[in-house]
Structure 1
Amino acid sequence: MVDRTQDFTSGLLEQIKGFSRDVQAVEVGTVLEVGDGIARVTGLPNVRAQELVEFSNGTLGVAFNLEEDNVGIIILGEYIDINEGDEVRATGRINSVPVGPELVGRVVNVLGEPLDGKGPINASGGIYAVERIAPGVMERQNVFRPVQTGYRVVDALIPIGRGQRELIIGDRGTGKTALCLDTIINQKNNRPGDELICIYVAIGKRAAEIRRVVATLEEYGAMSHTIVVAASASDPAAMQYLAPYAGCAIGEYFMENGKDALVIYDDLSKHAWAYRQVSLLLRRPPGREAYPGDVFYLHSRLLERAAQLSKERGGGSLTALPIIETLLGDIAAYVPTNVISITDGQIFLEGDLFYSGQRPALNVGISVSRVGGDAQTKAMKKIAGPLKVDLAQFRALAAFAQFGSGLDKDTQARLDRGMRLTELMKQPQFQPEALHKQVAIIFAGTRGHLDHVPVSRVKEWEAGFLRFLETQYPDYPNKLYEKLTFENVEEILTTAVKDFNATWN
């Protein structure tokens, strides 16, 4: 009996020694109602906007509506197992995502959790809040370096700079996603020290489509510099709403560490729909087309986070390529006009051009890049000037020629050259082109070296010339990249195209 008492006493003393006065206070609320991916909770008076909360079954949510007597929560997962009266705990953490180089090559969800079955991600960059303030005016500098898309028509006529926001807009099935994927694939052609990390954000797309995108990037060896953030159509509207902000936060990590990143939002139309859905469910006042009144701010605060940082901030950049899907080419709809006014230009892809065989189906007339011209290499800027003039004259003369029969020789020659240049601007999907090849082909077209080639054989001539240039003038690429000026390679290209034309038939 004495032994048992001593054991009890000694055990009690040990517990007293290990006793701590530290008390961890946890705010616990109660679910008032739940359904359609949202919950109303009471008992969380100190919860903050965008704070993560945890339901009793482990599902996470984000505090979205802060009202006087309850909190509107958007649920990041299944809501079927959440019931009225369940406990909800405030975590004290703002909605955030893990960041770091370990995410490159992976497919993740809005919370940074892996979806590709390749194991956990131990991100070394810490965590970044999903909603962050955009860099200020004095923290930025002018755009001065290009993002090479690999498309001649884009890189020459509507150039995109690192740190720019360029909208890609068009009807369904006109090649918007294809253009972005080719841009990602083309980054393999970047020279050492000029790398670009790409983040592809899939918003509301079918899971099969996202899988095809990942498979395409893997097939062409582009996943080695790409992160995919996926919120499929089967995911809750809350996940689709948060996806672009999560992708942007991941890109900001690279930008703030002096690197260059490109983030593609595919697409912001579905993002606006998801935001409208959660806003209506939480009874926010609807406005035009039932969108809430702050739908402009929804996209402006996202796209303003793209920037070319100043040297004092490390000189990194984040380029944004938002995609907007239009209906029957209506770019004057509510969301498209909002995003057009926010971005630094737009690439308009047209259904009629697409179905006529023009790929990419880019309408040069209403596509524009407001700041990208400052980022073009000197070589591309030199040869892009004549190309713009020739194509503009061709469009004007082609419209005029429909009403006239007898054309003088000069007009006919310009029409013929315009047809050949238009043919040169066509490129097949998943075959983006390095800068040195673009310069060579555009030079040949604008200087009249294809004027003798039948339009039907332009693509044949182009393929033959590039092979000839590669075998007979192997030092040409290095010569161009040495100074990135056209004068450095003009003599080589002039000689090469003359030699090739002498043998081509």
Structure 2
Amino acid sequence: MKTPSVTSVAEKTIKRLSRSLRQKEELQLREFGTVISVGEGFVKVRGLPNAGIDELVRFSNGMPGFVYNLDQNECGIILLDEEKKIDAGDEVYRTGSIVSIPVSESILGRVIDPIGRPLDGGKKLYSNKHLAIERPAPPIMHRAPVQTPLQTGVITIDALFPIGRGQRELILGDRQTGKTAIAVDTIINQYDKDVICIYCGIGKQKAAVARVIADLRKRNAMDYTIVLSATSEDPVGLQYIAPYAATSIAEYFMERGRDVLIVYDDLTWHARAYRELALLLRRPPGREAYPGDIFYIHSRLLERSTKLKPEHGGGSLTALPIIETQAQNISAFIPTNLISITDGQIYLSPELFRKDVLPAIDAGNSVSRVGGSAQLPAYRSVSKKLRLAYSQFEEMEAFSRFSSRLDESTRQLIERGKRIRETLKQPQFDPLRVDEQVVLLLAVTQGLFDNLHLDEIEEAKNRIRQAVQSEMEKSDISINWDKELKDKERERLLGIAQNAIQTFKEEKEEGEGEKETEEPDAETGTASAQD
């Protein structure tokens, strides 16, 4: 094979340049490097002397990646597509920009990946505005106190562990205990709250993400929801940048004065993806083989959730990160990191789940550090003693198993606690309105359920909800839930619950009476037939 001379190469280059100039084409200088090795989810490149961290690069086939390691003679690049499309010797070009995602109002209702490519079969996203996936958190002076509640529709959370707009509330528990169910119910409950929701799936199976999307579409929640997904089949680089990209989309709406709710499902897989990348790129491992900055990757993510002052947009970003624990170990490395970063946690107990107490929220290990300051005053007036009574009941119930003799006050406390637990039970996809929750809490705290059998409480709750819905439609009832309940309003709401329970009791007694009269008639008919 004949090697081309320097003269022939120069002549070809001059001819190409002169042709470009004649056609008035603009010439652009690009800095490029060469792939020297290809790994699982990353490549190493020689060249690119002026590249910076998080800079977007393109390979010769157009595939994207971003610079992650800068060494003396080479740089490590994390791939945002399959490594099968790249071979050693391919060229890599700098773009001069960092990794970003397109943002606009048209993104609502869409399913996308972390770099804005559609996954729902819809048209490609076009936007004049792109936001970097890594952005600094708003400074303290731009933040406002968290005072407005974010109603989840889950009575246990809204009454005992209220979440405010701008808060970061961790949801943790073992696998298959209902973590995603609580997050999906919260999204569904925002249908009339003017809250934009973002569901960020990280490392989940495609079937699990598809189920979430189907549930949201079935309940018309996709109209105000964005789903950003990086499944377990996607490159590990996409899984790593997914929560940051979702947060940038949320910040776009927050800076325009909108309230946003974002769900990270889940950050356990995000930490594992980061550990995989760091080990492949030869970064020093630390505890449990995680890199030394594993705390920082989550703290800089969740610190972006806040409530802004009106002069800086006035919007809010509420985060519900999800973490999976192993064998109820909430003191493990990643869970303790997230607990220390967030403003409270909701712990789901597998023991309660097995007892069919759903949602399986453990009141003893759950807390909201924002607390009553972000709770509607109407709630505070009816639920301020509820958590204490429920916690005492759980302790007494465990203690009572060792003793057969209980004094009357302890027995009453346990019986009341059982009815509180039945009241706090709630099926999935059935969020409760504020008025329904307040009336149910009033009913159980005032002892209206004390004379009912535990099996009857679910039906009594449904009757009360129906009565509240019909009564609240009347024009003469107007209650301001942003203020504490007045005595007249409390009596009115209690009257609604009492009437519903009384009607339920009367119908049940009538049904039992008819059943008793039917049995003798059947016996008489049988006897006459024998005669």
TM range (shorter): over 0.9
Q: Structure 2 matches for 1:275-314, cutoff 5 A?
A: 275-314=274-313
Q: Which amino acid aligns with 2:500?
A: F
Q: Note if 1:212 corresponds to 2:211.
A: yes
Structure 1: which 5+ residue stretches go unaligned? 1-12
Corresponding position of 2:402: 403
Inter-CA distance 473–317: structure 2 relative to 1 (3 Å threshold): closer
Q: Which amino acid aligns with 1:139?
A: H
Q: Structure 2 matches for 1:17-416, cutoff 5 A?
A: 19=24, 23-123=27-127, 126-190=129-193, 195-416=194-415
The CA distance in 2 between the partners of 1:139 and 1:214, in whole Å, is 34
CA contact (8 A) 2:230 2:239 kept: yes
Which deviates further from its counterpart, 409-418 or 272-281? Answer: 409-418
CA contact (8 A) 2:308 2:315 kept: yes
Q: Which amino acid aligns with 1:68?
A: Q
- Residue 404 of structure 1: how far off its partner (Å): 2.7
CA contact (8 A) 1:146 1:372 kept: no
Inter-CA distance 180–286: structure 2 relative to 1 (3 Å threshold): same
Corresponding position of 2:416: 417
Percent of matched pairs sharing the same residue: 47
CA contact (8 A) 2:108 2:224 kept: yes
- Residue 498 of structure 1: how far off its partner (Å): 2.7
Q: Which amino acid aligns with 1:368?
A: V
CA contact (8 A) 2:153 2:433 kept: yes
Corresponding position of 2:473: 474
User: What is the DSSP-based 3-state SS (H/G/I as helix, E as strand, rest coil) of the residue aligned with 1:32?
Assistant: strand
Q: Note if 1:491 corresponds to 2:495.
A: no
- Residue 71 of structure 1: how far off its partner (Å): 1.0
The CA distance in 2 between the partners of 1:46 and 1:271, in whole Å, is 29
CA contact (8 A) 2:378 2:481 kept: no
Structure 2: which 5+ residue stretches go unaligned? 1-17, 506-531
- Residue 474 of structure 1: how far off its partner (Å): 2.4
- Residue 81 of structure 1: how far off its partner (Å): 2.1
Corresponding position of 2:503: 503
The CA distance in 1 between the partners of 2:398 and 2:354, in whole Å, is 20
The CA distance in 2 between the partners of 1:16 and 1:275, in whole Å, is 47
The CA distance in 2 between the partners of 1:392 and 1:325, in whole Å, is 24
Inter-CA distance 450–278: structure 2 relative to 1 (3 Å threshold): same
Q: Which amino acid aligns with 1:43?
A: G
Which deviates further from its counterpart, 490-499 or 208-217? Answer: 490-499
- Residue 314 of structure 1: how far off its partner (Å): 1.9
The CA distance in 1 between the partners of 2:482 and 2:47, in whole Å, is 65
The CA distance in 1 between the partners of 2:35 and 2:210, in whole Å, is 36
Q: Which runs of 4+ in 1 moved over 4 A?
A: 13-20, 481-484
TM-score by length of 1: 0.93
Inter-CA distance 146–483: structure 2 relative to 1 (3 Å threshold): closer
Inter-CA distance 483–329: structure 2 relative to 1 (3 Å threshold): closer
Inter-CA distance 482–447: structure 2 relative to 1 (3 Å threshold): closer
User: What is the DSSP-based 3-state SS (H/G/I as helix, E as strand, rest coil) of the residue aligned with 1:26?
Assistant: coil
- Residue 483 of structure 1: how far off its partner (Å): 4.5
Q: Which amino acid aligns with 1:305?
A: R
Inter-CA distance 482–461: structure 2 relative to 1 (3 Å threshold): closer
CA contact (8 A) 1:98 1:112 kept: yes
CA contact (8 A) 1:103 1:123 kept: no
The CA distance in 1 between the partners of 2:70 and 2:19, in whole Å, is 46
RMSD: 1.9
Q: Which amino acid aligns with 2:127?
A: A
Q: Which amino acid aligns with 1:475?
A: K
User: What is the DSSP-based 3-state SS (H/G/I as helix, E as strand, rest coil) of the residue aligned with 1:335?
Assistant: helix
The CA distance in 2 between the partners of 1:14 and 1:428, in whole Å, is 71
The CA distance in 2 between the partners of 1:494 and 1:332, in whole Å, is 43
Inter-CA distance 475–123: structure 2 relative to 1 (3 Å threshold): farther
- Residue 481 of structure 1: how far off its partner (Å): 4.6
Computing the radius of gyration from Cα coordinates, the structure with the larger value is: 2
Q: Which amino acid aligns with 2:361?
A: L
Cα deviation digits, residues 340-374 of structure 1 (max 9, x gap): 11111110001111011010101100100001421
Q: Which amino acid aligns with 2:142?
A: E
CA contact (8 A) 1:436 1:477 kept: no
Inter-CA distance 270–312: structure 2 relative to 1 (3 Å threshold): same
The CA distance in 2 between the partners of 1:95 and 1:236, in whole Å, is 16
The CA distance in 2 between the partners of 1:475 and 1:253, in whole Å, is 40
- Residue 453 of structure 1: how far off its partner (Å): 1.1
Inter-CA distance 18–85: structure 2 relative to 1 (3 Å threshold): closer
Corresponding position of 1:6: none
Aligned length: 487
Cα deviation digits, residues 424-469 of structure 1 (max 9, x gap): 0000011111111111111111111111111110001110121122
The CA distance in 2 between the partners of 1:478 and 1:412, in whole Å, is 38
Inter-CA distance 451–41: structure 2 relative to 1 (3 Å threshold): same
CA contact (8 A) 1:160 1:372 kept: yes
- Residue 37 of structure 1: how far off its partner (Å): 1.3
- Residue 98 of structure 1: how far off its partner (Å): 0.8
TM-score by length of 2: 0.88
User: What is the DSSP-based 3-state SS (H/G/I as helix, E as strand, rest coil) of the residue aligned with 1:53?
Assistant: strand
CA contact (8 A) 2:390 2:417 kept: yes
Corresponding position of 1:5: none
The CA distance in 1 between the partners of 2:451 and 2:432, in whole Å, is 25
CA contact (8 A) 2:44 2:74 kept: yes
The CA distance in 1 between the partners of 2:101 and 2:206, in whole Å, is 22
Inter-CA distance 15–299: structure 2 relative to 1 (3 Å threshold): closer
User: What is the DSSP-based 3-state SS (H/G/I as helix, E as strand, rest coil) of the residue aligned with 2:94?
Assistant: strand
Q: Which amino acid aligns with 2:261?
A: L
The CA distance in 2 between the partners of 1:317 and 1:472, in whole Å, is 33
- Residue 336 of structure 1: how far off its partner (Å): 0.8
CA contact (8 A) 2:439 2:494 kept: no
Q: Note if 1:465 corresponds to 2:468.
A: no
- Residue 331 of structure 1: how far off its partner (Å): 1.0
The CA distance in 1 between the partners of 2:20 and 2:219, in whole Å, is 62
Which deviates further from its counterpart, 283-292 or 470-479? Answer: 470-479
- Residue 491 of structure 1: how far off its partner (Å): 3.0
